[in-house]
Amino acid sequence: MLLSIDVGTSGVRAGLFDERGDEVPGAQAYSQRPLEMSSFGELRPNRLVNEVIETIDRLQLNTPVDHIAISAFWHSLLGVDSAGRSTTNLLTWADTRAAQFANELRSQFNEPEMHARTGCRFHPSYWPAKLRWLKHEETDHFNKTHCWLGFAEFLCLRLFGENATYVSTASATGLFNQRNCDWDWDFVDALGIARETLPKLKTQTDARLTDEFASRWPGLADARLITVVGDGAANNIGAGCSTKDKIALMIGTSGAMRVV
């Protein structure tokens, strides 16, 4: 059995799948209320984590689950302190307040070169512009931050106690070098971002739930986290568009066309 958790900006879904990849009938749950996004495109990270927890609660798991897989919306950013508490709200892809800083990046760096290295142009959705905006506009929160995470990483920190990021989610930050599968440290240094504030990057994980959540969900007590991916990547794979000659069109709260 595999528990799949999908977190979008419009809601949370969870469901069980068998060894053939088929949904287990009647083993699906959905968030019961719409997520409250601010007019700026922010979400409350702890409230969203609680929505995930309550969605899993509603599954009423009666059978042991072997694996857990998570997909979540790409292009999000929040800070946490040394105890793992959020220091900022969750800035989503919809937050465009960093547009001015994205423009400044274009004047300071070679955008085509950085696009080839990181897969991301300079845009307010990505971390480079967002981090500059936070440093300039929310200095106190910026200075209190011990580590920068996306929402998927924050969720894993809360549920599994693992402070790390994963290739799929890191690839959408604008700071990940696709050529060597690591943070683009030259770019990170040029931006003035402290290296120690970026999470450890993993290509694999087999984390288990913390004691708190293993006790809450006995059916998941022995389950291992096997993958964490951006929802766009999951969408391409699920739609059968995993080669260069096929394009997946994803229409959700936002829209995107992607080629793998």
pLDDT at 252 over 80: no
pLDDT at 33 over 80: no
pLDDT at 108 over 90: yes
Interval 157-191: pLDDT, tens: 999 999 999 999 999 999 999 999 999 999 999 99
Judging by beta carbons within 10 Å of its beta carbon (0-12, 13-18, 19+), is residue 154 exposed, middle or buried?
A: buried
Please report, for the chain, the start and end positions of each structural domain, with discontinuous segments joined by +. 2-258
Beta bridge partners, 177, equal 182
Residues 6+ apart with CB under 8 A from 93: 9, 41, 73, 74, 75, 76, 125, 254
Least confident piece of the model among 48-57, 128-137, 192-201, 244-253? 244-253
Q: What separation, in Å, do the N-terminal and C-terminal C-alpha atoms of the chain show?
A: 28
Locus of tokens 């504030």: 197
Interval 207-230: pLDDT, tens: 999 999 999 999 999 999 999 999
Is residue 59 within 8 Å of residue 223, measured between CB atoms?
no
* pLDDT score recorded for residue 216: 96
Catalogue the E-assigned strands of the chain.
2-8, 11-17, 23-30, 42-43, 67-72, 78-80, 90-91, 147-149, 164-166, 176-177, 182-183, 200-202, 224-230, 248-251, 255-258
Residue 59 corresponds to which amino acid? L
Classified by CATH at the fold level, domain 2-258 comes out as Nucleotidyltransferase; domain 5 (3.30.420)
Backbone angles phi, psi at 6, to 5 degrees: -125, 125
Is residue 162 within 8 Å of residue 205, measured between CB atoms?
yes
Is residue 157 within 8 Å of residue 84, measured between CB atoms?
yes
